Every structure is written in structure tokens, then in C-alpha cells.
Chain A
Amino acid sequence: MSGRVIVITSGKGGVGKTTASANIGVALANTGASVCLVDMDIGLRNLDILMGLENRVVYNLVDVVEERCKLRQALVKDKRMPNLSLLPAAQTRDKTAVNAEQMKKLCEELKSMFDFVLVDSPAGIESGFQNAIAGAEEAIVITTPEMSAVRDADRIIGLLEAQKDQITQYRLVLNRLRPKMVANSDMMGVEDVLEILSVKLLGVVPEDEEIIISTNKGEPVSGTDNTRSGLAFRNIARRLRGEEVPFMDLDVKNDTWVTRIVNFFNPVRV
């Protein structure tokens, strides 16, 4: 088996890289694929918390690289889905604990075990980012509709383009969009962001309080029904698998009493 290694990156911190990694991972696993989530944020690991697997972490990525354990020992199997695994980062080390060469080797190994290897990159463009993209063939760039996040995403895309031979494909996920604010011209819309970045869109995820609840529970939203953000992440997973899925209708301009009643009975629209 030769799986796909996809790095999830953003440049700016706090835009939802780790949340997206967890949710896309769960959604991909829900489609039946075998998935490995790799937390590359060494020293600031969070992915295990989002997945609710913090209490099961025994070994980590650095232990594997430094050969204190075998790769299989460090992989933490998800509580709900046996075809989803997590390779946690080390919390007591920093970004210099691994290098690009080691990451390449690790990704090669993981690729032979899983259909999808999702690498959660740390914020920034330094060694941590360089290590995260070292073994990747595809990239998902996450941004929010804010000037600063878009600016950083643009920088990241530039860096990814410079690695064209290695990273053959990169697509954008626009996270935490608030349709009402866009309608009032208080926030950049999907078109505005694409205008600047001119990059292929993989998905748009609306702002959703459910994300906070799910983080605290350790159960990513894409594993549960009836949340708009969860549906958005599931659509992203389907698009990653090559399906044509129409984008969610996040427009608020036809917000009349008729649509409100319709939405009341059908809260999740595709």
C-alpha cells in the first residue's frame, strides 16, 4: 500500500490547523480509509487532547525517531475507530529534536501502513514547518478570513510552491467563516480570500461553538451528525478522496421567514 502524505499548515497560529487535522482525520476514517494523524508540533502538542487520547500516550514521535521504541508502539489507536491512529508529538522536547531527513523516513514508513497520513504542522515557517512538509506530497493550507491569516497563508503557499517537485498539490480550507459578517461586509468572504490567494478551494468551514464543546469532550465534530462544521469537514474528506461535493450554502442573503422555517426542520443544508 502506498498512502498519501498530506501536511496541514497555515503559517499563522490559532487558525485551526490542529482542529482541522483532527476533524479531517476522523472524517476520512469514517469513509473507511485507514488514517494516521501525525502531530509535528513538538513541545506544544495538542492533537492528542482534541482527539481525547491524551491519557493513552505512552511513546511519541521523538521516541520513534531516536529509536527508543518501534513505530507501532508509539501509534495510539483511536477509541472509536480502529482504522484511525495518532502519532503524538513529544511534549518535553522542542522542534530541533527531529530533522527533515528523519521525517522523510518516518513518512515513508507510515505511508506503507496507512491510506492517509495527515501531518499537523506547527505555526511558523521555521524548522518545525520545514520538518512537517519534508515527507509530504500534498498540502492543505488553513486560513481564516482575516487579513493577517491570509497574509501568512500567502507566505506559506509561496514556500510550498518553491517545493513544487515534492509537493504536487495544495488546496485551501477557509476556516471560521461567519456568513452574517460577510453579508454585512465586516469580514472577507470566500471570493475575497480566493482573489488574493488564487488557489484551489478544498472547503469552507463556518464558525461553530460546537467546536469548543467537542474539543473539551475530546470528540471531533466531524464524527458526530448535526453540526455545520462537522458536515463541512466531512465534505472536505470526501473531496480529498476525489468526490465532487458541492460547497455548503453559507449565504445569508435569502434569509426570509420562509427559509427560516425550512431551516428549522432541516438544520443542516448541503
Chain B
Amino acid sequence: MSKIAIISQPDQGVLIDVGGCASMQEAISHLSSTLQVSSQFWKGVNVALNLGDLELTSAQVAHILALAKGVGVYPYQVFAQRPLTRGALLENGVTLGDGTPMTLPAMTMKVPENPEIEEDWEDESVNISDDEPGVSIFYEPSENQLITDDVTDDLTDRPDGPIDFEPKAQKAPKAAKTEKTPAPSDKKEEVKGPVQAGVMYLRQTLRSGQTVSHQGHIVIIGDVNPGGEVVAEGDITVWGALRGIARAGVGGNNEAEIRALRLQPIQIRIGDAFARSPDRNRLHYDVHNGPETARIVDGKIKVFKFSPQ
């Protein structure tokens, strides 16, 4: 995994996370190579920076800020854990962020209030869901052995009721299925802003213990192995085998879908619904049903064969 993470946050821009770097030198070399990918890319983007556990002096902070300034990046917020670093940031006149910017896997991101943008988004999602066509005609039910029946009991059986994610800072993107609309070119113009920008595209296999979490849709070109976890507020699409855990529609978006070339997950969750694999540990993964889609029908997760039209 790379030492530097860029996490897009549809409502507030981009978080650059250098917290994984061991030293100041490493952080600066990673940061400068990342920033200088394309100066055009950063134009007009709101950037927050996470320095994690790095211990930096005032001069080092100034150096990093100058580096960012060179490509037109002015972080509106900087997160840091070490008191020394925080002091150095204040000396440089930087706005400090509270706590840690993002904790995986649950999305506990500190979202600064930005009522203007939020309103825009809400309007837009209403528009889109109005034109949304029915999608069931694309799929036929297949016999995937996911178990949904007793699971609901399992979870409500817990003394504290079914699982709740952290209260969300804004409304779920209702426009979860926008990409599937036949999308004539004039329509494309309508679909803009956070929904489209909110797709995370990942070209790697997610191995055990690795997590991806994103506030929009996630597309993974690769496998998700058992023990790997994908968490999205929108859809999850795996161009490969989904064998770990997938949570789509986190925050209550029951319209979200999970699809994979091989849908062999340990657990999937869509919005408030939950499904798990059968109880015997899986020894053979080569038996599969081909591309499948999971979505909620009548409050339960159902799996459908994906067939090209």
C-alpha cells in the first residue's frame, strides 16, 4: 500500500493523508511527487491535509506549505496528532482540524458544516430519483446461497437492537443508481457534482485486513479476499471475486447495490439489510454463478443473475 492516501470527500474536496509516512523526509518526497502529478488537477479543489503522527518543527511545516503553495494548493484544514506539530501549524497560521480526519472502517469523518453545498446536493438527488427507471428487467433471480432469513433475527436478537452506523452528517446520496440509467448525452449534463465525483476507482486486490471506505460508489478492479472489507455509501462494484465483507448504502441508502463477477462474500449489508454466507467454511471458491447483483427487495437482500441485455 502506498504511504500516502488521497481520500475524496464529495462534499468537501480531498483529504491528503501522509500519516502513514515514517519520517518527515518520506512525507515530503511522497507529498511533492503526489502534488506535482498535475497542477491542473488541484485547481479549485478544497484540500485538507492529515499529518498523522509526524513530529514536525515550524520550519518543516513551512516547507510543506510552500510545497503545496507551489502547485496552488492551500489546505483549508490540517490534522495532526503531535502537540509539537500542532504548535508549528498554529505558528504558520494554519487552521487545525479536530481529532483524526477519517477512521476506517466506520465512517467517522469530521464533516465541517457547509450548508450551501448540502442543499445543492439534496435538490439534485431529488431530481435524479424522479427520473429513475425500474431496473429489475435487467436481472433474473439466480440461486445464490446467501442466507438472509435468520440473520435479521440474529441481529435484532442482540440486546441493543440492530446495527447502527454513526449518525451521518448529511443525507445519503439517493442517486445511487445513476450510472445505470441509459444516460442519453443531454441527461449527462444534469448528473454532475458530488454524485459523479464520488466514485472511487481502485485497481488492486483487497487482501485480508485491508479496508476501503468511501462516501460515494466504489469500483474495484480486482478481488476482495476473505477478511477484506469494502464500505460505501453508494454502490459497490467488484470486477473480480467478492469474498470478503461488503457494506453498500451505509447510512441508510436502501437503493444501493452490490455486484461482482463472482459474488461469494462472507457478509453483505445494504442499507439496513444484512445477509451472510452459509455456515460451513468455504473450501472451494471455483464454484460460482457468474456475475451477480445483490439488492434489497421487500426489505431483504436478494441476489440476481446479471445478464447482458
Chain B, residues 200-219, CB within 8 Å of chain A (1/0): the string is 00000000111100000000
- Interface status of B37 (Cβ within 8 A of chain A): no
Would B266 and A54 count as touching, CB distance under 8 A?
yes
**Closest approach, in angstroms, between the C-beta of A18 and any C-beta of chain B?**
14
Cβ-defined contact, B160 with A52, below 8 A:
no
Known: A70-B160, A72-B159. A91 touches B281 (CB 8 A): no
**Cβ–Cβ < 8 Å partners of A57 in chain B:** 267
Asked if A256 lies at the interface with its beta carbon under 8 angstroms from chain B, I say no
A254 contacts B by Cβ under 8 Å: no
Answer yes or no: B277 CB below 8 A from chain A CBs. Answer: yes
**C-alpha gap A56/B158 in the complex (Å):** 12
Q: A55-B267, A92-B210 are in contact. Are A218 and B163 (CB under 8 A)?
A: no
- Taking a contact as CB atoms under 8 Å apart, the answer to whether B208 and A55 are in contact is no
Whether A72 and B281, one on each chain, are in contact in the complex, defined by CB atoms closer than 8 angstroms, is no
Question: What is the bound-complex CA distance between A79 and B151, given in angstroms?
Answer: 12
- Is B105 in contact with A92, judged by CB distance below 8 angstroms? yes
B: contact size bracket:
20 to 34
**Does residue B116 face the partner (Cβ distance < 8 Å to A)?**
no
CB-CB under 8 A for A52 and B209, given A73-B158, A92-B104: no
B158, B166, B208: most-surrounded residue (chain A CB, <10 A): B158
- The answer to whether A199 has its CB under 8 Å from any CB of chain B is no
Number of A interface residues in the complex (CB < 8 A): 24
Instruction: Give the contacting residue for A49; candidates B106, B154, B281; CB below 8 A.
Output: B281
CB contact list, B59-79 vs A, under 8 A: none
Query: Contacts A54-B266, A58-B163, A92-B105: A218 and B279 contacting too (C-beta < 8 A)?
Result: yes
Q: How far is the CB of A78 from chain B (nearest CB, A)?
A: 11
A71, chain B: closest CB distance, angstroms: 10
CA distance A177 to B221 in the complex (A): 46
Question: CB of B155 within 8 A of chain A?
Answer: yes
Q: Check A216 for interface membership: any CB of B closer than 8 A.
A: yes
**Residues of A25-59 whose CB lies within 8 A of B:** 43-45, 49, 52, 54-59
Interface: B227 (CB within 8 A):
yes
Which residues does A use to contact B, with CB under 8 Å? 43-45, 49, 52, 54-59, 68-70, 72-73, 77, 79, 91-92, 215-218
Q: In the complex, which residues of chain B have a beta carbon less than 8 angstroms from the beta carbon of A215?
A: 281
Bound CA span A56–B276, Å: 7
A-B contact list, 26 entries, CB within 8 Å: A43-B209, A52-B279, A52-B281, A55-B266, A55-B267, A55-B276, A55-B277, A57-B267, A58-B267, A68-B106, A72-B158, A72-B160, A73-B160, A79-B279, A91-B208, A91-B209, A91-B227, A92-B105, A92-B209, A92-B210, A92-B211, A92-B229, A216-B281, A216-B283, A217-B280, A217-B281
In chain B, residues 103-118, which have Cβ atoms closer than 8 Å to a Cβ of chain A?
A: 104-106
Residues from 159 to 182 in B contacting A, C-beta threshold 8 Å: 159-160, 163, 166
By CB atoms of chain B within 10 A, which of A57, A73, A92 has the most?
A: A92
Interface string of B225-249 (1 = CB under 8 A from A): 0110100000000000000000000
Determine the residue in chain B with the shortest Cβ distance to A43: B209
Instruction: List chain B residues, Cβ under 8 A from A68.
Output: 106, 166
Contact residues in B for A72 (Cβ distance below 8 Å): 158-160
Beyond A72-B159, A73-B159: 12 further Cβ-contacts under 8 Å? Answer: A44-B209, A49-B281, A54-B226, A55-B276, A58-B267, A70-B159, A73-B160, A73-B163, A91-B229, A92-B209, A216-B281, A218-B281
Q: Are B104 and A52 in contact (CB under 8 A)?
A: no
**Hey, which chain A residues are within 8 Å of B277, CB to CB?**
55
A56 and B160 form a contact (CB under 8 A) = no
Chain A residues lying within 8 Å of B166, measured Cβ to Cβ, are 68
Contact of A56 among B154, B226, B229 (CB under 8 A): B154
Contact A218 B280, beta carbon cutoff 8 Å? yes
Q: Looking across the interface, which residue of chain A has its beta carbon closest to that of B244? A: A91
- Given known A68-B106, A92-B104, contact A52–B280 (CB-CB < 8 A): yes
A88 CB, nearest partner CB in chain B, Å: 12
Q: Find the A residue at minimum CB distance from B213.
A: A92
**B161 — nearest CB in chain A belongs to which residue?**
A73
Q: What is the CB-to-nearest-CB distance from A142 to chain B, in angstroms, rounded to a whole number?
A: 22
A56 proximity list for chain B (CB < 8 A): 154, 276
Q: What A residues does B160 contact at CB under 8 A?
A: 69-70, 72-73
How far, in angstroms, from A54 to B266 measured CA to CA in the complex? 7
B108 to chain A, nearest CB (A): 8
In the complex, what distance in Å separates the CA atom of A52 from the CA atom of B266?
11
Chain B nearest CB from A43 CB (Å) reads 6
How near does chain B come to A196, taking the closest CB pair, in angstroms?
36
Name which residue of chain A comes closest to B267, CB basis: A55
Residues from 247 to 295 in B contacting A, C-beta threshold 8 Å: 266-267, 276-281, 283
Chain A residues lying within 8 Å of B163, measured Cβ to Cβ, are 58-59, 69, 73
Neighbour of B281 across the interface among A54, A58, A69, A77, CB < 8 A: A54
Nearest opposing residue in chain A for B103, CB measure: A66
* Cβ contacts under 8 Å, B158 to chain A: 72-73
